[in-house]
Amino acid sequence: MNKAALDGIRVADFTTGLAGPFGTQFLAWMGAEIIKIESMKHSSLLRQTAEVRFINTNLAKLGMTLDLSQPRGLELTKRIIAISDVVVESFRPGVMDKLGLGYEVVKQIKPDIIMLSLSGFGQTGPEGHYRTWASIFGGMGGLTHLTGYPDGIPCNERGANDTRGGQFAAFSVLAALCYRQKTGQGQHLDLSVREVVSCHIGDALLDYTMNRRDQGRKGNRDDFMAPHNCYRCRGEDKWVSIAIATEEEWRPLCQAIGKPELIQTDRFSNAYLRWQNQDELDKIIADWTLNHSHYEVMDILQKAGVAAMPSLNCEEVYTNPHFKTRGFVTEIEHPERGKQVVTGPPWKLSVTSNKIGTSPTWGQHNRYVLGELLGLSREEISKLEEEQIIY
């Protein structure tokens, strides 16, 4: 097997929940050794309530459990940090300081450490200490307001607001690693997930700073393309998305749906008129899609050179032949739950390998981390177990 891109990089990972763990997930897939440090007090809510979700965000990581509130637990944590390249944490701002693991302390232990603190609103500012979950980032960031039917209420995404924040954490750590590679210098990174959301609607925010315009909600619609919507198909709650940008796509669409006369119809004769009259077009298209399965529509229209994709549900994603062929959807063997379907990294790399692995059970790698990495004896480790410093 080829080397992985981040072979040799070690991360002390204190994150819980969804955003932080998904951030270090990218580093794990690229081969970094992630030591996930869990404690009773700060055990992941996902671990407690929804283990399948925990598994899907903690692949290829090592599991370490210790009591951070005991002096001996803290000391062991510091020894793990001393042999790490990166620390990632997602506590509420101030908690790492209270634990005695703030950046200034961590820097003393390992001067070139890269430490990323991920939070909802950032480490600074009047609302930095506020409590947040994923969909709140979407609302505060401005995305929820822009999502929904043109005549309807705002709609929130849930997990995606966390996971896109996690992506930004992975990117930020990698940029800091590249800098350290050249200069030997570490640093502290303060990431706000709500600000990630705002950055990803930057163009809509510029409409406001330029024109004082609130773009509002557009459903599936686009400013230029039409038709551009989701259409009901045969079956229960089955839908297909269709988007048309050019004449070269419009004509074959009309042919494919058995309405060649539309090509000659004045009110659909150019992109602007189609956009103007898209409500009528949507009805015509939906009359046709209703008689086909969503995959049939995709097959027919893609053959004709028209962009069409079903609105897939999770089962359809997990069983989709394309995703399976690429190895994106794959099966892992979990030590306690057996076979699990998971999705891996969204890329294929030509030389370095991806590491998928499996997700650690509670304290699964305590002996490896303490014994192999820190050099503690069997007796010392047993004593730590007895004293409930590790558990």
Partner 1 sequence: MTEAALAGLKVVEYAHFVSGPYCGKLLADLGAEVIKIEEPGIGDEARRRAPFPGDIPHPERSGLFLYLNTNKLGITLDLKNPKGREIFKKLVKKSDVCIENNPPSVMAELGLDYESLKQINPKLIMTSITPFGQTGPYKDYKSYYLNTFHGSGEGYLLPAGLGWVLYPDREPIKSGGFIGEYDIGLAAAIATLGSYYWSHASGEGQYVDISGTEVLAGLMRYEFAPYNDGWVVNRASWALPIGGLVQCKDGFAELMPLMENMYKGLLEVINPELAKEEKYQYSNIMLSYARPVGGEGDDARQSLKDIIEEWALKHTKEDIYHQLQAKGCAAGIVATPEDVLNSKQLQERGFFVEINHPNTGKIKYPSTPCKYSRTPWQVRRPAPRLGEHTEEILRHRIGISKSELVRLRKQGVI
Establish if 275 lies at the interface with partner 1 (CB under 8 A).
no
Contact pick of 62, 66, 87, 170 for partner 1 (by CB under 8 A): 170
Q: Which stretch binds partner 1 (CB under 8 A): 225-233, 257-265, 367-375, 381-389?
A: 225-233
**Coil vs helix vs strand at 106:** helix
Q: Which of 131, 135, 193, 140 is nearest to 168 (CA)?
A: 193
- Strand-strand pairing, 86-89 and 10-13: parallel
Shortest Å distance, C-beta 266 to partner 1:
25
Contact pick of 335, 349, 377, 387 for partner 1 (by CB under 8 A): 349
Shortest Å distance, C-beta 62 to partner 1:
19
Shortest Å distance, C-beta 17 to partner 1:
10
Contacts of 120 (CB under 8 A, 6+ apart): 130, 131, 132, 136, 137, 140, 192, 193, 194
Number of residues that bind partner 1 (CB under 8 A): 156
For residue 56, give both structure tokens: 């899907």
User: Taking CB under 8 A as the rule, which mask of x and - marks residues 5-44 in contact with partner 1?
Assistant: xx-----------x---x---x---x--------------
Nearest CB to partner 1, comparing residues 331 and 380: 331
* Residue indicated by tokens 């038709």: 227
**Coil vs helix vs strand at 177:** helix
User: Taking CB under 8 A as the rule, which mask of x and - marks residues 121-160 in contact with partner 1?
Assistant: xxxxxxxx-xxxxxxxx-xxxxxxxxxxx--xxxxxxxxx
How far is the C-alpha of 114 from the C-alpha of 184, rounded, in Å? 11
Nearest CB to partner 1, comparing residues 70 and 311: 311
Shortest Å distance, C-beta 259 to partner 1:
20
Shortest Å distance, C-beta 274 to partner 1:
15
* Positions 76 through 95 that interact with partner 1 (CB under 8 A): none
Establish if 55 lies at the interface with partner 1 (CB under 8 A).
yes
Q: Which of 95, 154, 158 is nearest to 129 (CA)?
A: 95
Nearest CB to partner 1, comparing residues 81 and 140: 140
Nearest CB to partner 1, comparing residues 210 and 386: 210
Q: What is the helix (H) or strand (E) element at residue 192, kind and residue range?
A: strand 187-192
Nearest CB to partner 1, comparing residues 6 and 35: 6
Shortest Å distance, C-beta 203 to partner 1:
4
* Positions 99 through 128 that interact with partner 1 (CB under 8 A): 103, 121-128
Three-state DSSP string of 100-114: CCCHHHHHHHCCCCE
For residue 204, give both structure tokens: 């809509």
For residue 117, give both structure tokens: 């603190």
Q: Which of 263, 256, 252, 239 is nearest to 300 (CA)?
A: 256
* Positions 203 through 222 that interact with partner 1 (CB under 8 A): 203-215, 217-220, 222
C-alpha pair distances (Å), 379 with each of 256, 360, 383? 74, 24, 6
Residue 7 burial (10 A CB sphere; 0-12, 13-18, 19+): middle
Angle between helices 247-256 and 294-303 (to 10 degrees): 130
* Residue indicated by tokens 């620390």: 87
Shortest Å distance, C-beta 76 to partner 1:
26
* Positions 290 through 329 that interact with partner 1 (CB under 8 A): 298, 302, 305-318, 321-323, 325-326, 328
Shortest Å distance, C-beta 11 to partner 1:
13
* Positions 226 through 265 that interact with partner 1 (CB under 8 A): 228-232, 237, 239-243, 245, 249
How far is the C-alpha of 141 from the C-alpha of 161, rounded, in Å? 9
Shortest Å distance, C-beta 371 to partner 1:
28
* Residue indicated by tokens 């077009």: 281
